[in-house]
Amino acid sequence: MPQFSLTDRTAAAGRVAHLLAHDLVQPVAPFVTQFVTRLLGGAQPLGVVFYGSALRVPDPEGILDFYVIVERLDDWTSGYLAREANRILPPNVEYHEIPIEGRTIRAKVAILSIAQFRRMTGRATLDTTVWARFCQPVRLVWVRGPEAADAILACIIRAVGQAGRWAAALGPAQGTADDYWLALFAHTYGAELRVENGRRPRSLLQGQEGRYRSLLPDVWRADGLPFRYEGDQLIPQLTPELRRNMREGWWLRGRLGRVLNVSRLLKGAFTFEGGARYIAWKIKRHSGIELPLGPFSERHPLVCLPYLLWKLRQAGFFRRRG
């Protein structure tokens, strides 16, 4: 079974770190940085990371996705109950609309402390949510300074290491790098109960195939996970016991992922700041029906849910869906 020397592993780890650091500093559209500047105001988090579908396919009319990484949860302005909920079941998610150059830019903003970020990208975590996102290309669009940048990069390196290890266990016994990444993303989507079509994992690779193909063997080398090549095929040399143990570990993560996803939805009903506006925007975008929201219904969407459903019915929303 091939083994990698410490020199090989160190060199591979350096290449992984270099590639991911290069990802982080790639330019983004000016409206993205303007949005983040307005969002933060005088706040000084460690950094703001831009990720998701709007990064892959820029769309000013869509929803941007950000993670704000803070030193302590108390550093981000929110209510006491929201902060405590974030300590128990991170992350909290907020919805923001900010006018930029005459256009309304919309974003979902998740809040994590750096300690939570480290934990949720580490091997011991049973929650796949964070590392599954941060093994994909992301941009560091705002950062407090070099030390903060290094801390965030270290977590992203951990996320990619997690992804590579699970790809080896969940993918085929032999296949291309694409095969392993596709298998991984199919499993991570399944663990989150996300409503996506079967082409979604493939869309994550589109335009980034070279990145993913370069990353996987170096992630395995850096981890000391032996593998060999047959042409363009990769063959990870996992022992039957290790493969079985990891697949059993994934079974637990998959079941827990569903519980966590439902729990986050329930938590979000009480802590999703701006959630009513987000739902109203989604309804208008997909149906053309404008849902009027007053200050009370914005603050208390659950209390106003019967009224909002009645307004949708009056506007023909359910009839159009029939």
Assess whether pLDDT exceeds 80 at residue 291.
no
Q: What is the pLDDT at residue 301?
A: 60
Assess whether pLDDT exceeds 50 at residue 322.
no
Two tokens, residue 12: 């591979």
Average pLDDT of the chain to the nearest whole number: 87
176-195 confidence digits (pLDDT tens): 999 999 999 999 988 876 65
Assess whether pLDDT exceeds 60 at residue 318.
no
98-141 confidence digits (pLDDT tens): 999 999 999 999 999 999 999 999 999 999 999 999 999 999 99
- Helix ranges (H only) for 58-194 are 80-88, 114-120, 129-134, 146-170, 177-191
- Helix/strand number for the chain, H first, E second: 15, 7
Q: What is the pLDDT at residue 174?
A: 97
Two tokens, residue 298: 């914005």
pTM of the shown model:
0.86
d(CA 93, CA 112): 10
The confidence band for 92, taking pLDDT boundaries of 50, 70 and 90, is very high
Domains, the chain, in order of start with CATH, read: 6-272 (3.30.460.10), 280-321 (no CATH)
d(CA 48, CA 144): 9
Torsion-angle region of 224 (φ positive above 0: left; ψ -120 to 50: alpha; else: beta): left
The average pLDDT across 26-36 equals: 96
Q: What is the pLDDT at residue 148?
A: 98
Structure-model confidence comparison of residues 142 and 269, the more confident one: 142
Structure-model confidence comparison of residues 278 and 190, the more confident one: 190
Instruction: Please give the share of the chain, as a percent, with pLDDT higher than 90.
Output: 68
Assess whether pLDDT exceeds 80 at residue 212.
yes
Choice among 37-51, 111-125, 185-199, 299-313 with the minimum mean pLDDT: 299-313
Assess whether pLDDT exceeds 80 at residue 201.
yes
The confidence band for 295, taking pLDDT boundaries of 50, 70 and 90, is low
Assess whether pLDDT exceeds 50 at residue 166.
yes
Q: Is the separation of the CB atoms in 215 and 16 below 8 Å? A: yes
